[in-house]
């Protein structure tokens, strides 16, 4: 450093001066490489603030694009470099991402007062619509979520479980005969099943494809992208179809007398923050959002759990699932929600799969005013997100963090005593006012799927290393193929 300050650059420069010149050039290059960060700090008025370590840049472009390529790797790389609290760019906005127990606990003390709408990417905001809970806050949001328990609570799950089990057995039976299965088959099965649960039937192919297009458009790179335009058109088609269907079953009286319309019947009685009944277009929108959120979570979890349970390193877990199924059902198949909830090991497999292969980030919130978090300054306008991927990969919380150990979630087991499983360390569906409402349904569906699948199929082997789609949720790529060996009679 002294050489850099005092070296005189001239034709007859000494070796010390040359070294100083080289060092000075290196510093200059380093500074120019991060000009965006310096500019961003000045534009945002952060130069005198004590922000968490990390890089946002001027507009978060580099960080956003890197995140979209591989979200889980993005978070892991930054945790390794900066620790469990860092600043970055999320969807072209400055953000603070955190996952330490203390930071999560502190966040929960004020999270309910934070808005979420402006933190969402523009494409997601538009396609999620103003009726979506992720865009709401205050009384409006509270009223929206109050209706969720009617269609996702225990009574609803009890109504859904026999339907799911019957559909799973039919699906597995067909795949056992074919002796092959694509990950895309799982995704389609989950989507068809959610349509059946929520509107009473599986719609025509065009609406299946419309839901895929809608999913792809949610986190597209702008409203001018082809993915966004297709997603918007798909949403319009889905809304028109479901609203027409809902009106038809109301007019015919089927809504009142046919139990397959359980979901729609509940929403026909839903009220907003002012006590007014939901209009038909809001009910149709709710169906689209709920089918989307539930099917994509369930499909992702089914695929991840299947890969983990079929791994040769995890034969003990597969044996436990089979043993539990046989002991509780005698091989007759799952018939009720009680059959599902009593299968504690299979439930633990689903929970551990969510930890080992995280599907998505935590919810995004907007910080409306300057505040402190984890000892750092958080400027107004920053996005805040408690990211479950940080504690999920923390050795201090989950020892042997990369190993698949469902026993972590078996209460009273020796393994569970070595792990720290609390609401501050395990929150796969996010937390607080915008916690994902469909995670319980996804877990129930996955439990049924794993139990019935492992009873009917002796082994399943990917024909190649599984690949994953990263956005908007981490899920097996459609073209991932499994060779199946059916169980012998």
- Give the pLDDT band (50/70/90) at residue 328: confident
Q: What is the pLDDT of residue 10?
A: 35
Q: What is the mean pLDDT of the chain?
A: 89
Does residue 125 fall inside a structural domain?
yes
User: Quick one: pLDDT at residue 43?
Assistant: 75
Is 27 part of any domain?
A: no
What is the pLDDT at residue 161?
96
pLDDT in tens, 164-184: 999 999 999 999 999 999 999
436 annotated ligand binder? yes
For the chain, what is the domain count? 1
Pairing of the two strands 383-386 and 93-98: parallel
Tokens of 254: 């089927």
Of 32-41, 236-245, 396-405, which range is least confident? Answer: 32-41
Which range marks the domain in which residue 285 is found?
A: 34-486
Q: What is the pLDDT of residues 340-387, one digit of tens each?
A: 999 999 999 999 999 999 888 777 888 999 999 999 999 999 999 999
In a 3-state reduction of DSSP, which class is residue 97? strand
- The per-residue pLDDT for 471 is 81
* Domain annotation covers residue 150: yes
Average pLDDT over residues 133-159: 90
Q: How many CB atoms lie within 10 A of CB 362?
A: 27
Q: Is the pLDDT of residue 298 over 50?
A: yes
The pLDDT, as a whole number, for residue 351 is: 97
Query: Is the pLDDT assigned to residue 242 strictly greater than 80?
Result: yes
Q: Is residue 71 part of a domain?
A: yes
Q: In angstroms, rounded to a whole number, what is the distance separating the alpha carbons of residues 136 and 142?
A: 9
**CATH code of residue 308:** 1.10.630.10
Please check whether residue 18 lies inside any domain of the structure: no
Whether 17 is covered by a domain: the verdict is: no
Does the pLDDT at position 436 exceed 90?
no
Helix (H, G, I), strand (E, B) or coil at 366: strand
In this predicted structure, what is the pLDDT of residue 2? 36
Q: Is the pTM of this model over 0.85?
A: yes
The b-or-e profile of 155-180 (16+ CB within 10 A means b, else e) is ebbebbbeebbebbbebbeebbeeee
Residue 293 pLDDT > 80? yes
**In a domain? residue 14:** no
Per-residue confidence (pLDDT) for residue 363, from 0 to 100 = 78
Residue 26 has pLDDT above 80, yes or no: no
Q: What is the pLDDT of residue 489?
A: 64
**What are the φ and ψ backbone dihedral angles of 92, each rounded to 5 degrees?**
70, 20
Residue 380 per-residue DSSP state: T
1 assigned to some structural domain: no
Q: Is the pLDDT of residue 15 over 80?
A: no
Q: Across residues 186-210, what is the average pLDDT?
A: 97
Average of pLDDT values for 202-217? 96
* Residue 12 backbone dihedrals phi, psi, to 5 degrees: -105, 35
Distance CA 425, CA 416 (A): 13
pLDDT one-digit tens code per residue, 80-136: 999 999 999 988 899 999 999 999 999 999 988 887 777 778 898 899 999 988 888
CB-count burial class (<10 Å; 0-12, 13-18, 19+) for 254: middle
């Amino acid at each position: 450093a002294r050489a850099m300050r005092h070296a005189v650059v001239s034709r007859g420069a000494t070796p010390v001066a040359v070294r100083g010149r080289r060092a000075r050039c290196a510093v200059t290059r380093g500074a120019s490489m991060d000009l965006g960060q310096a500019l961003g700090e000045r534009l945002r008025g952060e130069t005198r603030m004590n922000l968490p370590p990390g890089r946002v840049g001027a507009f978060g472009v580099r960080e956003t694009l890197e995140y979209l390529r591989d979200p889980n790797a993005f978070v892991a790389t930054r945790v390794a470099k900066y620790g469990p609290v860092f600043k970055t760019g999320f969807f072209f906005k400055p953000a603070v991402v955190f996952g330490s127990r203390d930071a999560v606990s502190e966040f929960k003390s004020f999270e309910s007062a934070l808005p979420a709408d402006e933190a969402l990417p523009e494409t997601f905001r538009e396609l999620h619509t103003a009726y979506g809970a992720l865009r709401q806050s205050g009384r409006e949001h509270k009223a929206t979520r109050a209706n969720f328990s009617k269609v996702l609570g225990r009574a609803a799950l009890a109504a859904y479980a026999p339907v799911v089990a019957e559909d799973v057995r039919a699906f597995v039976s067909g795949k056992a005969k074919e002796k092959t299965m694509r990950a895309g088959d799982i995704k389609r099965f989950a989507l068809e099943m959610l349509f059946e649960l929520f509107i009473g039937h599986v719609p025509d192919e065009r609406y299946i494809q419309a839901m895929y297009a809608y999913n792809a458009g949610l986190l597209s790179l702008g409203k001018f992208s082809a993915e966004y335009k297709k997603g918007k058109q798909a949403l319009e088609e889905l809304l028109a179809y479901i609203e027409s269907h809902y009106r038809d079953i109301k007019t015919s009286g089927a809504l009142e007398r046919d139990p397959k319309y359980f979901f729609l019947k509940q929403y026909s009685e839903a009220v907003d923050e002012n006590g007014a009944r939901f209009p038909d277009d809001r009910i149709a929108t709710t169906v689209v959002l709920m089918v989307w959120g539930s099917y994509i979570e369930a499909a992702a979890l089914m695929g991840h759990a299947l890969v983990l349970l079929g791994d040769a390193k995890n034969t003990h877990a597969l044996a436990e699932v089979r043993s539990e199924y046989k002991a509780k059902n005698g091989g007759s198949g799952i018939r009720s929600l009680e059959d599902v909830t009593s299968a504690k090991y299979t439930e633990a497999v689903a929970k551990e799969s969510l930890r080992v292969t995280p599907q998505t980030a935590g919810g995004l919130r907007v910080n409306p005013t300057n505040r402190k978090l984890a000892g750092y300054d958080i400027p107004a306008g920053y996005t805040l997100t408690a990211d479950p991927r940080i504690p999920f990969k923390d050795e201090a919380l989950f020892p042997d963090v990369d190993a698949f150990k469902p026993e972590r979630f078996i209460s009273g087991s020796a393994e569970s005593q070595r792990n720290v499983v609390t609401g501050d360390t395990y929150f796969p569906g996010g937390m607080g006012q915008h916690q994902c409402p469909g995670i319980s349904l996804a877990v129930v569906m996955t439990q049924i799927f794993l139990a019935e699948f492992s009873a009917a199929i002796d082994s399943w082997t990917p024909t190649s290393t599984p690949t994953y789609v990263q956005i908007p949720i981490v899920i097996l790529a459609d073209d991932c193929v499994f060779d199946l060996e059916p169980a012998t009679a």
